[in-house]
Structure 1
């Protein structure tokens, strides 16, 4: 690993925002350790300034190996980007899925932060946590995903206040719709989970799940590109005086603002109105 460039780590860099962020940070002169799950993903992203590393953030041994790879070098930036999307009603989502989602979207990032904090302290570096508009407002069938992101936002706030006296800054990035492969994977997972519902559950939530998948697809297709998102994330990681939070896309900026100012019942009506056009039309 080169010693002539500052080092950044990006988890979840196989595709989408993570891969685009790795490329953008390398373009800005950092040596990027890009966390990927498979060797072929590493081959696809390998380039000048980008060194793929096999990294599953739910595997302690892989996190420890990455920390050992850094050794006593300073770490300029840690971008906690890895994540999974799961959509299902609270009643129907198996506890194994709840735990898996929180392991990836929350606990894995905490484990990464704990392991790499010594290197970040040496560099007075920066932690960039990729949350979501779902970290500020929870749509129906987003209970598990939004719950993990709400928790990630809270952990980020605590961490920012803990590390500020020691020179390490913590920034949260909240994407709205971004055109990545995550939506397709999430839709496939939602279909699988819907198929496992009981007949009674399908009568309660079947139309809702179809509306949620349709809404997510439209939301994503109208969203920003991964390259645009990467520019926001890279700026959050490198600008001299970052804000505590950045949004990606006008949808995220609007929804996070409304979540701060509207009463709960008004937000309930707003989310219902957003979903209504996506419900199946009654048979004539």
Structure 2
């Protein structure tokens, strides 16, 4: 069976990918941190649960030892979202955002590339439409996805001699537990702000909360992301980028043809409550 590594497989999109590819007959090495998630993964057919904290360098150093000699694919899915106005961001939280979503994904990829090369496998990065479009209040998360886009582009060109495809999966809002909890996470972020920042950004914070509520209703089926990942792993001609829903395609097209000043005004208005 072809072998696949999926990080952040304990929930959401990572779990959906793991379940789908294991049903397709792939031998899936699925990583998670919690014992509960690892136990659930281990009960799935064709799935090998791997304990991994992607920010723990010593854990990544031993990752390769738990994998087969040849690896047909890696899906760098593990990630977090740090929200909030840039002025109010905790520097530690910003560092964690970049460590988990950027540095850790490259560290995992570096660790398994010899096994990917042995199988002439494929490398996938879970990016986002917010790696193409920046919105107010999500600067840290957008920055992490922009960085992943750039690093994946460089890696794709650098791996051409070995014919190793590198694909970016760019979903928008997807109906997973992460988006289900988005309003609660927004409220927790607001609670962590100083009184001064809550007062300064009151209109923005209220507007962002309303927009998140609307986006929850527009969230796409996770099957769209799973379908894109399946194609990137199995197609004879995998795409370099996969936009997974029509809303994201429209957003990208509109931002691409609209002057920056107009985009700024529209997005600022959309995230401000009057």
Give 2:48's match in structure 1, choosing from 47, 51, 67.
51
2: CA distance between counterparts of 1:275 and 1:190? 13
Q: CA contact under 8 A between 2:207 and 2:270: conserved in structure 1?
A: no
- TM-score where L is the length of structure 2: 0.94
Offset at residue 186 of structure 1 (A)? 4.5
Task: Name the SS for the 1:43 alignment partner.
Answer: helix
- Within the candidate set 230, 248, 263, 2:259 is matched to 263
Separation in 2, partners of 1:186, 1:58:
23
* Equivalent residues in 2 for 1:149-188, closer than 5 Å: 149-188=145-184
CA–CA separation in structure 1 for the residues paired with 2:269 and 2:26: 44
- Preserved contact between residue 86 and residue 189 of structure 1 (Cα < 8 Å): no
Of residues 24, 32, 40, the one that matches 1:36 is: 32
Q: Secondary structure at the match of 1:97?
A: helix
Residue 104 in structure 1 maps to residue 100 in structure 2: yes
Tell me the residue number matched to 1:134: 130
| Deviation sequence 1:144-180 (CA, Å, 0-9, x none) | 0000100110001101110112111100010011011
Relative to structure 1, the CA distance from residue 85 to residue 184 in structure 2 (aligned partners, 3 Å threshold; closer, same or farther) is farther
Cα offsets for 1:187-220 (capped at 9, x unmatched):
4443233223333322221221232233223213
Contact 1:93/1:193 (<8 A) preserved = no
User: Where does the alignment leave 5 or more consecutive residues of structure 1 unmatched?
Assistant: none
- Superposition CA RMSD, Å: 1.7
| SS of corresponding position for 1:48 | coil
Q: How many matched pairs?
A: 273
Q: What corresponds to 1:95 in structure 2?
A: 91
Q: TM-score, normalised by structure 1?
A: 0.90
**Deviations along 1:207-254, whole A, 9 cap, x unmatched?**
212322332232133111223321222222221111110011111111
Q: 1:6 aligns with which of 2, 9, 17?
A: 2
